[in-house]
Amino acid sequence: MTQTYSRRRIVIAGGGTAGWMTAAALARTLGGAIELTLVESDAIGTIGVGESTIPPLVNYNRLLGIGEAEFMRATQATFKLGIEFENWKVDGESYFHSFGLTGRDHWTAGFQHFWLHGLTKGHDWSFDDYCLELKAAHAGRFAHLPDNRMNYAYQLDSSLYAAYLRRLAEADGARRVEGKIAEVELDGQTGNIAALRLESGERLAGDLFVDCTGFRALLIEGALHAGYDDWSHYLPCDSAIAVQTESVRPPVPYTRAIAHDAGWQWRIPLQHRQGNGIVYCSRYLDRDAALERLLGTIEGQRLTEPNFIRFVTGARRQQWYRNCIAVGLSGGFMEPLESTSIHLIQRAILRLIRMMPMSEVSPRDVAEFNEQQLTDMVQIRDFLVLHYKATERRDSPFWRQCAGMAIPDSLSHKIELFRETGRVFRKNEELFAENSWVQVMLGQGIMPRAYHPVATKLSDAELDHLLHGLRESVERTVASLPRHHEYVAQYCGAR
Ligand code: FAD
């Protein structure tokens, strides 16, 4: 086999979370084998939101060899054990989607089947009582436990994270160019991108281009017209306003998603401040009313001016098109409800590294990349739609629209299967595993009508022993954990 490698020139357009995550990962893994340039515009800046993450980010940082305590100091991060969903099923009720497992699954059936059997036997404890991460979150406690028994993510300052990754990427040989892209130059013969021309006149030629220009999608859409699938008929929110405030209390290890009559609000506690925002559907709430609602409910001194953001939920039809790959908001956006955007950035980067072209871009790699990335997005979309569709709220036109909307068949199947049998199956390495679906479906009020017969094989005493034992073990562990904010201070303070 003969194969010639030439040093590929990779140009990343944009330096937000997506741009610097891509640059840091490519520079660290491919180093001298590529020539890496990132161009970003200080005048344009970044979107300035994106602070709540999910557990796979822990692995991304590990792959890059990032020390956790140093990273948390640099980004003012806190630990995150899940999301508290308030007012989603009905106004006044909450449930928690945790990153942990609930109870103990049997190979034939998930723990929910045993819990459901317990209900018929008079055990009236909540499903929540069997999940360590959930109970620790509510108690405001956290610690690293042996064997990764505590599954967690981070709440972080995204601009500090980008700055941190920039230092790594530059140390690993990435070149940063400051300037505004004025033109995307196409090759007349192939239709590929040949170069980016900056306002300064500089020309950045490349073999492969990564579009991290955010919602602008300057390369993948502006120049290449890859197309966009609009999913707003499933995910109707189209606007957000964000503000940062001083913290008024110690940070809790979870994010809050508080539904209101035309969308929801977030609260993300960091070490040094809190991120707040309102997400809404402009058809039912106008900008002034949304701002008033946000400012009327935040706590603590405001640190920033309101950041107004418009978006169309959906996905770029081709995430990789010709010699351009969309990473980040340029590839689509589905809502920050389950903090999945940074995760999709990470997935795209890992895929790009695995499918890095040898010389010419292979159409097979492109097709594979697009199929895998889109599968992730569709699965996440379904999970998000569940939160809106499975509501008992009928108190506003927004919630009536959500409750009445048609949903993807894949989601209907999952909901009906759970309702009829209590079963959930994870397919195709789906991001959200069975326990996530069970927690959210129960939380949104979908109660199974039946459960697996294996649960009835336990005698009353065995069932009692199982349920008591698991619950007590969770309680004991939670009681032994330090307070989250004290643990963060001690962990980040230790050098
Ligand atoms: P941006 O941050 O917009 O960066 C774009 C970059 O391109 C900038 O550097 C800009 O200067 C550059 N650029 C653009 N045009 C030009 C040009 N002409 N010349 C040169 N440079 C240019 N994700 C999560 O995972 N968790 C969350 O909690 C979360 N919350 C969110 C809340 C809201 C309301 C929104 C809208 C998104 C949220 N996200 C969240 C998504 C998250 O913010 C993004 O995935 C992440 O910030 C990546 O953005 P980006 O880098 O793609 O784009």
Q: What is the C-alpha to C-alpha distance for residues 487 and 143, in angstroms, rounded to an integer?
A: 7
Query: Residue type at 450?
Result: A
| Residues at CB less than 6 angstroms from ligand 1 | 14-19, 39-41, 44-47, 49-53, 158, 180-181, 212-214, 216, 218, 240, 242, 277, 309, 311, 328-330, 336, 339, 341-342, 345
pLDDT at 111 over 80: yes
E-strand ranges in 127-262 read 153-155, 175-178, 181-186, 193-198, 203-205, 208-211, 228-230, 239-245, 255-260
Asked whether 324 and 219 are in contact (CB, 8 A), the reply is yes
Identify the pLDDT of residue 360.
84
Name which of 95-99, 107-111, 174-178 the model is least confident about: 107-111
Average pLDDT for residues 12-25, to the nearest whole number? 98
Question: Does the annotation list 329 as a binding residue?
Answer: yes
Identify the pLDDT of residue 143.
98
Identify the pLDDT of residue 1.
57
Ligand 1 mean position to 19 CA, how many Å?
A: 9
Domain limits, the chain: 8-78+155-230+313-369, 102-150+408-480
Identify the pLDDT of residue 39.
98
User: ipTM of this model?
Assistant: 0.99
Ligand 1 mean position to 46 CA, how many Å?
A: 6
How crowded is residue 378: how many other Cβ atoms within 10 Å of its Cβ? 19
Which ligand 1 atom sits nearest the alpha carbon of residue 328? Answer: 52
Beta bridge partners of 52: 155
Which ligand 1 atom sits nearest the alpha carbon of residue 268? Answer: 28
First to last CA, the chain: 50
Residues tagged active-site:
80
Q: How far is CA 410 from the centre of its chain?
A: 21
pLDDT at 5 over 70: no
Q: What is the C-alpha to C-alpha distance for residues 333 and 24, in angstroms, rounded to an integer?
A: 22
Global pTM reads: 0.96
Q: What is the C-alpha to C-alpha distance for residues 85 and 75, in angstroms, rounded to an integer?
A: 25
Question: Does the annotation list 16 as a binding residue?
Answer: yes
CATH code linked to domain 8-78+155-230+313-369: 3.50.50.60
DSSP, collapsed to helix, strand or coil, labels residue 326 as: strand
